[in-house]
Each structure stands twice: as structure tokens, then as C-alpha cells.
Chains A and B, each alone.
Chain A
Amino acid sequence: MDLVIALSPLLAVGFGGLMLMLAEAFGKPSEEGISKTTGDVVDAGAGRGAELGLGASVVLIAGAVMAVGVWIVGPETLEGVADVAPYLLIDRFSLFFTFVLCLGGAFTALLGGGYLPEHRIDRSEFFPLVLFSTFGAIALAMSGDLLSLFVGLETMSLGVYCLIGLRRGSARATEAALKYFLLGSFAAALTLFGAALLYGATGHTDLVGIGEAVATIGQPDSTVAAMPVLLALALTLAGLGFKVAAVPFHQWTPDAYEGAPTPATAFMAAVVKTAAFAILLRVLLVGFGEERLMSWGTGWPPVIATLAVLSMTVGNVVAGRQESVKRMLAYSSIAHAGVALVGVAATIRSTEDATASVLFYLLVYTVSTAGAFGALILCGSRGAEAVSYEDLAGIAKRHPAAALAFSLFLLSLAGFPPTAGFFGKLYVFQSAIDSELYVLVIIGLVNSLIGAYYYVRVMVYMYMREPVPGAPVAKPMSSGMVTSAIVLAALLVLGLGILPGVSLDMAIAAAARGG
């Protein structure tokens, strides 16, 4: 019984997904809406995006609430938890991520409920797939074993491949889905190759066992060879680098983000990235957390630091040159992965503080980026989707609320006080200073300035430009679900910005248990 309570967020999301699948198959297609909302597809459950989206978001919010519940009960007090270890580790680290992932999934479901009917791609598969992908993401964040890591990774990714290709008739979407699928499978293969090497070298698949075996390297009676372990580390880092979209593993990101329906883009930016960071932290700190591997001269920190510098710099510089706002947000998500990697690199000295700063940053980033994509959705409607900067010109006059919300999320992404993004960046750089990574901090601050340029540019277009006469302009849509997602995200962005204490304490508690 303990086990059921401990696993309740995961079970709720999985069971909810099954129920939604049945509801979709047995439900009646909406009578009047079909031709208006689905284009050519007439299918059971078609044209029911609003209902299914609401259902999915309720399930995911219930999952988040259950994660909070287990947190309050305390996963340490539940005895059944040991039965599923090390395949699923239910500690405060996992629960924190479960909460963030469920939140990101709920945003996606709400945005999808508004976006899909509006753009006539109201295919009801979207919502069960979001639930199953979130299920995989939670399993990935909980996994403490290479086997469950891989199963979680694939469960999460398979759903996302389909989400990207939802707009079947569009060549762009097909290209995006195929690109993400091929590169994603390649990355998964690299991860698997690394896992196989690790098992061969250490004889363990659980991360704790691997960590203990790796610690014996160099001792006279050790049977563990150093070379395969290092190679496995490199392969694992490359595989997870693809998922978090760190430079130089980022090539798929702009195309996949642009071709996907915008709620699916939000899902990739928020949920997939957060889950990949969860397992990256767990693998590095538990599997490769040995002293020599965690030191600057002989281990992974310089690799992570290089990835961080490259991701921040390339992400920000290229983002500034984009003409499409969606592509700009894609590159900005690469830059944000770089900032979070600074936090990961900072775990070398002040391990717990740095881990906590990454957790807090990911929470803040999930909320801000989901909100930004939500605002972008709200600014467009069928046939007049907001894509480029020009589309957004003068939108503040036509739809002041959408422009205001968009500005709030952009300010948070740029890291202006008093939004949440400011504190997220502050804590990451603070922990990097504590670890004496001054160069990283300076590069990060310079990049924040570059980033401010293109975030502010959107606001300039929204508030100070008038649309060119005769040019197509984005017409804002009206959807209660998108609006409610944006309001929720805006409240969180402001709440986390004004009162960061509570959630930061939770992140610190999570880091203390998990790291």
C-alpha cells in the first residue's frame, strides 16, 4: 500500500492516459465542429480537443498534487519504496521533478485544448500522447538504473515524435518529426552504447553500484578499467546532450521546434528538457560522482563547462539573428540549457547548493517558457498565426492582455527582476561563484545581456511598431483554456519572483536527498 501511495503520481498519469485513450476511442465526434476543427480527419473523438485537453490537464494537475502529497508525507517514511529501488527511486529529488514535469504537461494539455481546434488539427491522439510522454518523463526522472533510464527515455521520446508530426499534411511538420526521430534515435543509441560499456566495465546497471565500482578505479585490486568508463561517460553525455539540446548537439532543435504544433514545442522545451536534466544530474552525481571524476582536472566538469559556454553563446547569438519568434524561442531554449549546465558544472564544490539552483532554475524555466509559447499561441489564430516579429507588430493595441503576458514571460526568460527568471539565474550564478567558476559566470552574464536584446526586440515590435500596411498580421484567438494556462503561468512567474523562498527551500531539500 505504501508503494501505491509513493507511486501515485506516476500511476495517476499512466492510468489517466489509458482512460483518455478509451474516452477518445468511444467518444462521439463533435457534431458541428468536425469540418471546422479537424480539416479532413473524421475520426472518433475528433473535434473534442477542448474536452480531452481539459481532462488531460486535470489528470496532470492531480499528478502534481499527488507529488506534493507524497512530499508532505515524506518518501522516507514509506517502506514500500525500497521494493522498486533502484529501478524507480522515490525521493524528494524525484518528487520535485515529478511536480515540475506534471506542471509542464498540464500547460501543454491546456494549450493544446485551445490551439488544436483553432488550427483545424483537432486530432484527439494528442492528449493521451501528452500523458504517456509525461509518464515516461516522470519515470526517467525517477530512474536510478540504466535499464529503467532507457525505458523511460524511450517512452518519453516516442510520444513526442508523434506530437511533432501531428499536422500530417504539412511538409514542415513531417520534416521536423523525421529529423527529431532520426537524431533522437541516434542519441538513444549512443546512450545505450554508453550503458552497455558501463555494464561491461563495472558489472552493474544501477547507478549506485556503478558509482561504487568506478570509485575503485586505480586501486591495486580493482577489476574496473578506466578507459571504457570514460568512453561510456562521453557517450552518455552526448546522448543526454541531444535531449537537453546543448550545443553541439542542438542542430535538430530549431527545425523541430518550428515545425511542431506550438503546444508540442512547449512540451519539448519544458518537459523533455527538464526530464533530461533530472537524469543528467542523477547520472553525473550518483554514477560518476566519485572525487576524481568530479574534479576539474580529471573528470567531467570541464566537458560540462564547455557545453555550457557553447550552448549559451551559440544559442544567444543565433537567437538574435532569427526572423521567426518561434525559432528565436527555440534558440533561447538552447541558451537556457547552457545556463542550467553552468549550475551542473558548479556541483563540483558546493554540490547541494548547485543542484538546488539547477532544480529551481528548471522550475522557473518550465513556467516561463510554457507561458511564452502560450502567449505566442494566444497572439495568433487560424490562417493568421503569429510567427515572425512582423506578425506581432502593434499587437499591444489590438490585444493588450496578450502582449502584457508575453512581455512578462519574455522578461522572465531574459532574467529581469522581479520575475522568477531573475532569481533562477541569480542562484545558478551564485552557486557557480561559490565553486569559483568565475569565467563561467562572466560569460553567463555577458550572454544574459545579449539575450536581453532579442527578448526586448519582441516587446519593441509589440508596443512600438505599427504593422506594415497590407502585410498579414496575426489575429489573436480567444480560448479560455489558453488564457487560463497563461494566467496560471503568469501567477507562478510573479509568485516565484516575489517569494522565491518556499520553492527554493523545497529545491534545497530535494537536492539534499537526491544528490
Chain B
Amino acid sequence: MFDLYLPMFLMFAIAAGVAAGMFSLGQFVGKNPQSAEKLTPFECGNDTEGAGNVRLSVKFYLTAILFVVFDIEVVFIYPWAALFKGLGWVGFASMLMFVVALLVALVYCWKKGALEWEK
């Protein structure tokens, strides 16, 4: 059991060591002391503006969740298509029911206006 995980532990240890080494190297070799300007999160580029918690339209959420639904549909259809012959008519009927159920859902979303961006 331990033998099995030893390489993994070693890898974690080396990764942690390398990361810690890099950081401390920067600390020791770099110029000190740091100025206040140097410590700002965005030393270069534009100054940040506005609040961090902007309210987004619910449409983004709706689009995202619809994308996930139909994405998952494809996830199910791929393995089914790969095994199409082996699954036979039972598999076809099962997939047909699944696709029809989602089709009804799509029609529902469409009719309810979930796919319209501007309204």
C-alpha cells in the first residue's frame, strides 16, 4: 500500500520544495525594501474601477444552464452512438425517449422566451 503511493508523496514533496524554493529565492535575491507602489496588486496596467460584486443579468445564468443541459445530452449520445449496433432496438427506444423528453424541454424553453437575448 505504502509502496504504491510513495512516488506520489515524493512528487508532492518535490513540488512543494520547488515552489517554496522559488519564493524564498525571490525574497533573498530581490531588492529590499519594497516600496508601497511595488506592493499594489496591479503594479502595471489600468487602475481597477467599480465594485467587485456587479449584478449580472439572470440571462447569463439561463444560457449557461441550458448549455449544460444540452451538453450533457451529447455526453450521453456519444457512448450510445459508439455502441449503437450492440444496443439494438431497446437502446434506440431508450435514447429516443431521452431525446424526445429533452426536445419537449427545448420547445418549452423556446416558447417561454428563454432563448431570446433581447426582449
Q: Which among A17-25, A233-241, A309-317, A320-328 touches the partner chain?
A: A17-25
B100: which A residues are within 8 A, CB to CB?
18
List the A side residues contacting B105 at CB < 8 Å.
21
Query: How far does the Cβ of B76 sit from chain A's closest Cβ, in whole Å?
Result: 13
CB distance from B96 to the nearest CB of A (A): 13
Task: Report the bound CA distance from A18 to B102 in whole Å.
Answer: 10
User: Complex Cα distance A14/B97, Å?
Assistant: 11
Interface size, B (range): under 10
A83: chain B residues at CB < 8 Å are: 90
CB proximity to A under 8 Å, residues B89-112: 90, 100-101, 104-105, 107-108, 111-112
A44-96 residues with Cβ-Cβ distance < 8 A to B are 44, 83
Complex interface: chain B residues within 8 A of A21 (CB):
104-105, 108
- A14-44 interface code vs B (CB 8 A; 1 in, 0 out): 1000100110111000000000000000011
Distance (whole angstroms) from the CB of B99 to the closest CB of chain A: 12
Q: How distant is A280 from chain B, measured CB to nearest CB, in Å? A: 29
A72 → B minimal CB distance (Å): 26
CA distance A14 to B105 in the complex (A): 13
A26 near B111: Cβ-Cβ < 8 Å:
yes
Assess the B112–A18 pair: CB atoms within 8 A.
Answer: no
Give B16-59 as 1s and 0s: 1 = Cβ < 8 Å from A's Cβ atoms. 00000000000000000000000000000000000000000000
A22 proximity list for chain B (CB < 8 A): 104, 107-108
Beta-carbon contacts under 8 Å, B63-119 to A:
90, 100-101, 104-105, 107-108, 111-112
Give the distance in Å from the alpha carbon of A24 to the alpha carbon of B108 in the complex: 9
Query: For residue B104, which residues in chain A have a CB less than 8 angstroms away from its CB?
Result: 18, 21-22
Complex: A222 Cα to B111 Cα, angstroms: 58
Is the beta-carbon distance between B111 and A25 smaller than 8 angstroms? yes
**Given the complex of chains A and B, what is the CA–CA distance between A25 and B101 in angstroms?**
15
Verify A44–B112 contact, CB threshold 8 A. yes
Whole-angstrom distance between the alpha carbons of A44 and B112 in the complex? 7
On chain B, the residues within 8 Å of A18 by CB distance are 100-101, 104
Across the interface, do A44 and B111 meet the contact criterion of CB distance under 8 Å? Answer: yes
Looking at the assembled complex, report how far the CB atom of A269 sits from the nearest CB atom of chain B, in whole angstroms.
Answer: 29
* Minimum CB–CB distance for B105 against chain A, Å: 8
Contacts of B111 in A (CB 8 A): 25-26, 44
> What residues of B have a CB within 8 angstroms of the CB of A44 in the complex?
111-112
B94 CB → nearest A CB, Å: 10
Could you tell me the distance between the alpha carbons of A21 and B112 in the complex, rounded to whole angstroms? 11
In whole angstroms, what is the CA distance A25 to B108 when docked?
6
**Which residues of B lie under 8 Å from residue A24 when comparing CB positions?**
108
Chain A neighbourhood of B107, CB < 8 A? 22, 25
In the complex formed, the residue of B with least CB distance to A26 is: B111
- B101: chain A residues at CB < 8 Å are 14, 18
Q: Which residues of B contact A25 (CB under 8 A)?
A: 107-108, 111-112
Interchain CA distance A25-B105 in the complex, whole Å: 10
Whole-angstrom distance between the alpha carbons of A435 and B101 in the complex?
A: 47
**B residues within 8 A CB of A26?**
111
Bound form: Cα–Cα A18–B97 in Å: 11
Contacts of B108 in A (CB 8 A): 21-22, 24-25
CA distance A24 to B105 in the complex (A): 12
Interface centre among A18, A26, A83 (most CB of B within 10 A): A18
Residues of chain A within 8 A (CB-CB) of B112 are 25, 43-44
Encode A422-433 as 1/0 by CB contact (under 8 A) with B: 000000000000
Minimal Cβ-Cβ distance residue in B for A11: B97
Q: Tell me the smallest distance from the CB of A26 to a CB of chain B, in Å.
A: 6
Q: Closest Cβ of chain B: how far from A129's Cβ, in Å?
A: 12
Give chain B residues whose Cβ lies under 8 Å from the Cβ of A14: 101
> In the complex, how many angstroms separate the beta carbon of B4 from the nearest chain A beta carbon?
16
For the complex formed, measure the closest distance between the CB of B47 and the CB atoms of chain A, giving whole angstroms: 37
Q: B1 to chain A: closest CB distance in Å?
A: 13
Q: How far is the CA of A75 from the CA of B90 in the complex (A)?
A: 20
Minimum CB–CB distance from A59 to chain B (whole Å) comes to 15
For chain A residues 475-501, which have a beta carbon within 8 Å of chain B? Answer: none
- A98 CB to closest chain B CB (Å) equals 19
Q: Which residue of chain A has its CB nearest to the CB of B104?
A: A18
> Smallest CB–CB gap between A127 and chain B, Å?
13
What distance in Å separates the Cβ of A148 from its nearest Cβ neighbour in chain B?
Answer: 14
Which of A14, A21, A22, A44 has the most B CB atoms < 10 Å from its CB? A21
Q: Closest residue to A24 on the B side, CB-wise?
A: B108
Chain B's nearest CB lies how many Å from the CB of A308? Answer: 40
CB distance from B37 to the nearest CB of A (A): 44
Measured CB to CB, the closest approach of chain A to B70, in angstroms, equals 17
Among A442-457, those with CB < 8 Å from B are none
**A43 contacts across to B, CB distance below 8 A:** 112
In chain A between 234 and 257, which residues have their CB closer than 8 angstroms to a CB of chain B?
none
Nearest 10 A/B pairs, CB to CB? A25-B111, A18-B104, A25-B108, A21-B108, A25-B112, A22-B104, A21-B104, A26-B111, A18-B101, A44-B111
Task: Beyond A24-B108, A25-B108, A43-B112, list 17 extra A-B contacts (CB 8 Å).
Answer: A14-B101, A18-B100, A18-B101, A18-B104, A21-B104, A21-B105, A21-B108, A22-B104, A22-B107, A22-B108, A25-B107, A25-B111, A25-B112, A26-B111, A44-B111, A44-B112, A83-B90
Cβ contacts A to B, 20 pairs, < 8 Å: A14-B101, A18-B100, A18-B101, A18-B104, A21-B104, A21-B105, A21-B108, A22-B104, A22-B107, A22-B108, A24-B108, A25-B107, A25-B108, A25-B111, A25-B112, A26-B111, A43-B112, A44-B111, A44-B112, A83-B90
